[in-house]
C-alpha cells in the first residue's frame, strides 16, 4: 500500500469515529471512540500506546527511546460540532473529490494525526538518539486543560518535559511560531419585558467571509468579513425605534462564527401592542461597541486583537452572550472589565454580570531558535516555502511555550476549518508527513 493510500485509509477510519466536543450540549469523545482510535494508531505503529485519563478526557500517548533530546509530537482527535444542514457531504464519512478529502476533522485535526503516525512509522524503523513522545489529546477544542496541560504535568512528574514540541495543529505547510492567547468573556443580563405599540418585523443577517475558507473566530478580520451578530448590533444602533422580541441563530461554539442570526422585533409607532425585551435590545445593540474595545497587549500580532460574540443563550429569564477574544497577552488587563461595565452603564444596563476566563498563554518561539532553524532546513530539503508565520487560532503549544520550550505548529493545507464541508488537500498530507519525519530525524540523529 502506498503512503497516500495508507494515509487516506487511516484518515477515513478516524473520521468515521465521532469525536465531537461540545460542552454546551454535554457531548465529549466517548471511551469507546478513544479505544477505537488507539487500536488504529497501535496497528499502524506496531506499538501498544498508553491512555492517560483526566476528568473524563483521554490522551493516547507513548514514550519511545531514552535520554536527550526529548521531542514531543502533539495533535488532537476531538473536533468541533457540525450543523448537518450546512454540509454537502456526510461529515463523518471521508469523501474524496479530486485533490480534496472532505470530513469533520480532515484538516483539524485528524489529518495531522495521520501525518504524524506515518512519519513516526519511518523514524522508528531506524536507530535514533533521544526520546520520542507522541500524544493525541481529546479536549483541544474546549481549551486543552484536561488533555495537553494535564499531560504536561504528567511529563513533569516523570522528568520528561520535552526540549522541543512539534504540534501538528497548524496549516499551510509552513512552520508557525506565533499564536495569540484565547479568552472568553461571558456577559449576562436579566430580561426586562415592556409593552410597545407598533408593527412587528423580523429579519436575518448572514455571515460573510471574504478571503478564507473557515468560520473559525480567530481568523475573522474586522473591516473585511461580516459577523451576523455584530451586523445586527450595528443595525439596532441606527434603528432606535426597533425593540427585540427574541433572537435565534446557528450557534455552534464560542470560537465559531454563526452562519446566521434571526430576530423578531417591534417597530415602535402606530399599530398593535406587543411585549418586547428592553434588556435584550440594549445588550445586542452594545456588542458592536464591545467588539471595538482598545485592548493593550504584551506583544504585537499580525492579527491584532479579535473580539467576537459567537454564542447567545436565553435561560430562566437571563440573556447570556459568550465573546471569543484573541490577544497576544497572558492575561486581559483589568481595564477590559471596567470598560465593558462602562459601556453597559452608559446605555442604562446596570444589572450586568461580567466574567472573564483567562487563557493559558500564547505561542512565541524566536525565529533564530534551534528548532526553527532545523524546521527551515527541512522546508528547503522538501522544496517547501522557507519562511515562518503567525497563525490566528490558538493551539496547545501555549502550554509549553511559556516554559521556554521551543515549539512550532505545522500542518497540511485545507479549508473550511470549523465550518461546513471541511477538507484537506491530499498531496499536502503526504508533504506534512515528510516534514515531520525529516525534522525528527534531524533532531534525533
pLDDT, tens only, 178-208:
999 999 999 999 999 999 999 999 999 999 9
Q: Which of 306, 325, 357 is the last residue of a domain?
A: 357
Q: What is the pLDDT of residues 367-382, one digit of tens each?
A: 999 999 999 999 999 9
- Which of 70-74, 87-91, 138-142, 345-349 shows the lowest mean pLDDT across its residues? 345-349
Would you place residue 393 in the very low, low, confident or very high pLDDT band (cuts 50, 70, 90)? confident
Number of H helices, E strands in the chain: 9, 21
311 CB burial (10 A radius; 0-12, 13-18, 19+) = buried
* 320 and 368 belong to one structural domain: no
List, as own/partner pairs, every contact residues 121-127 make where C-beta atoms lie below 8 angstroms and the sequence separation is at least 24, other chains included: 121/44, 121/45, 122/437, 123/437, 123/440, 123/441, 123/444, 124/45, 124/47, 124/64, 126/441
Taking the C-alpha atoms of residue 230 and residue 207, their distance in angstroms, rounded to an integer, is 10
What grid cell was written down for 43?
496497528
CA atoms within 13 A on the CB side of 239: 18
* 175 and 279 belong to one structural domain: no
* 58 and 31 belong to one structural domain: yes
Taking the C-alpha atoms of residue 305 and residue 288, their distance in angstroms, rounded to an integer, is 14
* 368 and 352 belong to one structural domain: no
Q: What is the DSSP string of 341-357?
A: HHHHHHTT----EEEEE
What does residue 218 show for φ and ψ, rounded to 5 degrees? -65, -25
Q: What is the pLDDT of residues 260-284, one digit of tens each?
A: 999 999 999 999 999 999 999 999 9
* 148 and 193 belong to one structural domain: no
- Measure CA of the first residue to CA of the last residue in the chain; give whole Å: 28
Q: Are 229 and 312 in contact (CB under 8 A)?
A: yes
Q: What is the pLDDT of residues 74-106, one digit of tens each?
A: 999 999 999 899 999 999 999 999 999 999 999
Q: Which of 357, 388, 407 is the last residue of a domain?
A: 357
Per the document, the length of the chain is 445
Q: Are 247 and 190 in contact (CB under 8 A)?
A: no
* pLDDT of res. 392: 87
What domain range includes position 339? 186-357
* 121 and 253 belong to one structural domain: no
Report the candidate in 282, 279, 305, 283 with the shortest Cα–Cα distance to residue 294: 305
* pLDDT of res. 207: 96
Residue 1 clears pLDDT 60, i.e. is over it: no
What does the mean pLDDT of the chain come to? Answer: 95
Taking the C-alpha atoms of residue 374 and residue 393, their distance in angstroms, rounded to an integer, is 24
Q: CA–CA distance from 140 to each of 19, 32, 154, 239 (Å)?
A: 12, 19, 17, 40
Residue 394 clears pLDDT 90, i.e. is over it: no
Q: What is the pLDDT of residues 112-127, one digit of tens each?
A: 999 999 999 999 999 9
Q: What is the pLDDT of residues 243-266, one digit of tens each?
A: 999 999 999 889 899 999 999 999
CA atoms within 13 A on the CB side of 302: 13
Q: What is the pLDDT of residues 307-341, one digit of tens each?
A: 999 999 999 999 999 999 999 998 998 899 999 99
Report the candidate in 308, 324, 384 with the shortest Cα–Cα distance to residue 359: 324
* 215 and 282 belong to one structural domain: yes
What pTM value is reported for the model? 0.85
Q: CA–CA distance from 103 to each of 99, 219, 255, 401, 408 (Å)?
A: 14, 20, 19, 31, 25
Task: Give the Cβ contact number of residue 402 at 10 Å.
Answer: 16
Would you place residue 2 in the very low, low, confident or very high pLDDT band (cuts 50, 70, 90)? low
* 194 and 269 belong to one structural domain: yes
Q: What is the share, in percent, of the chain residues with pLDDT greater than 70?
A: 100
Report the candidate in 417, 411, 426, 414 with the shortest Cα–Cα distance to residue 75: 411
* 332 and 375 belong to one structural domain: no
Strand pairing partners for 325? 183, 307
Q: Are 429 and 113 in contact (CB under 8 A)?
A: no
CA atoms within 13 A on the CB side of 433: 24
Residue 347 clears pLDDT 90, i.e. is over it: no
CA atoms within 13 A on the CB side of 300: 1
Q: Are 321 and 186 in contact (CB under 8 A)?
A: yes
> Tell me, what CATH number does 375's domain have?
3.40.630.10
**For the residues 405-417, what does the mean pLDDT come to?**
96
What grid cell was written down for 397?
503549544
Q: Which of 298, 328, 357 is the last residue of a domain?
A: 357
* 208 and 71 belong to one structural domain: no
- Please give the DSSP secondary-structure letter assigned to residue 313: E
What grid cell was written down for 52?
492517560
Taking the C-alpha atoms of residue 366 and residue 352, their distance in angstroms, rounded to an integer, is 42
- Which of 1-10, 28-37, 216-225, 428-437 shows the lowest mean pLDDT across its residues? 1-10
* 169 and 237 belong to one structural domain: no
Q: How far is C-alpha 149 from the chain's CA centre?
A: 16
Domain count, the chain: 2
* 176 and 90 belong to one structural domain: yes
Q: How far is C-alpha 388 from the chain's CA centre?
A: 20
Amino acid at each position: 500500500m502506498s503512503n497516500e493510500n495508507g494515509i487516506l485509509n487511516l484518515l477515513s477510519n478516524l473520521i468515521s469515529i465521532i469525536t465531537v466536543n461540545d460542552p454546551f450540549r454535554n457531548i465529549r469523545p466517548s471511551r469507546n471512540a478513544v479505544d477505537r482510535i488507539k487500536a488504529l494508531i497501535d496497528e499502524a505503529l506496531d506499538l501498544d500506546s498508553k491512555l492517560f485519563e483526566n476528568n473524563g478526557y483521554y490522551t493516547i500517548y507513548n514514550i519511545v527511546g531514552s535520554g536527550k533530546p526529548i521531542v514531543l509530537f502533539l495533535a488532537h482527535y476531538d473536533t468541533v460540532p457540525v450543523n448537518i444542514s450546512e454540509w454537502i457531504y456526510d461529515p463523518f464519512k471521508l469523501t474524496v473529490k479530486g485533490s480534496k478529502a472532505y470530513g469533520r476533522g480532515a484538516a483539524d485535526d485528524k489529518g495531522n494525526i495521520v501525518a504524524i503516525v506515518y512519519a513516526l512509522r519511518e523514524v522508528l524503523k531506524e536507530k535514533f538518539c533521544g526520546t520520542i513522545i507522541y500524544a493525541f489529546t481529546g479536549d483541544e477544542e474546549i481549551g486543552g486543560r484536561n488533555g495537553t496541560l494535564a499531560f504536561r504535568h504528567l511529563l513533569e512528574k516523570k522528568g520528561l518535559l520535552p526540549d522541543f514540541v512539534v504540534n501538528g495543529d497548524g496549516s499551510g505547510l509552513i512552520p508557525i511560531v506565533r499564536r495569540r492567547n484565547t479568552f472568553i468573556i461571558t456577559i449576562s443580563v436579566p430580561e426586562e419585558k415592556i409593552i410597545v405599540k407598533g408593527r412587528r418585523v423580523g429579519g436575518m443577517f448572514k455571515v460573510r467571509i471574504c478571503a478564507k475558507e473557515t468560520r473559525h473566530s480567530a481568523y475573522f478580520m474586522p473591516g473585511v468579513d461580516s459577523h451576523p451578530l455584530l451586523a445586527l448590533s450595528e443595525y439596532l444602533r441606527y434603528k432606535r425605534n426597533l425593540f427585540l422580541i427574541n433572537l435565534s441563530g446557528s450557534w455552534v461554539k464560542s470560537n465559531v462564527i454563526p452562519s446566521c442570526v434571526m430576530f423578531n422585533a417591534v417597530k415602535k409607532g402606530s399599530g398593535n401592542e406587543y411585549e418586547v425585551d428592553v434588556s435584550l435590545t440594549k445588550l445586542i445593540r452594545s456588542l458592536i461597541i464591545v467588539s471595538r474595545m482598545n485592548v493593550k497587549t504584551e506583544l504585537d500580532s499580525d492579527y491584532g486583537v479579535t473580539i467576537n460574540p459567537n454564542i447567545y443563550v436565553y435561560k430562566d429569564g437571563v440573556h447570556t452572550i459568550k465573546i471569543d477574544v484573541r490577544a497576544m497577552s497572558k492575561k486581559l488587563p483589568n481595564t477590559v472589565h471596567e470598560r465593558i461595565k462602562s459601556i453597559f452603564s452608559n446605555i442604562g444596563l446596570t444589572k450586568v454580570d461580567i466574567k472573564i476566563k483567562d487563557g493559558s498563554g500564547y505561542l512565541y518561539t524566536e525565529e533564530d531558535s534551534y528548532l526553527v532553524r532545523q524546521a527551515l532546513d527541512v522546508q528547503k530539503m522538501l522544496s517547501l516555502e522557507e519562511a515562518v508565520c503567525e497563525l490566528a487560532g490558538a493551539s496547545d503549544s501555549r502550554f509549553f511555550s511559556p516554559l521556554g520550550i521551543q515549539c512550532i505548529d505545522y500542518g497540511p493545507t485545507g479549508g473550511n476549518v470549523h465550518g461546513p464541508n471541511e477538507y484537506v488537500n491530499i498531496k499536502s498530507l503526504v508533504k506534512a508527513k515528510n516534514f515531520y519525519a525529516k525534522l525528527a530525524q534531524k533532531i534525533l540523529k
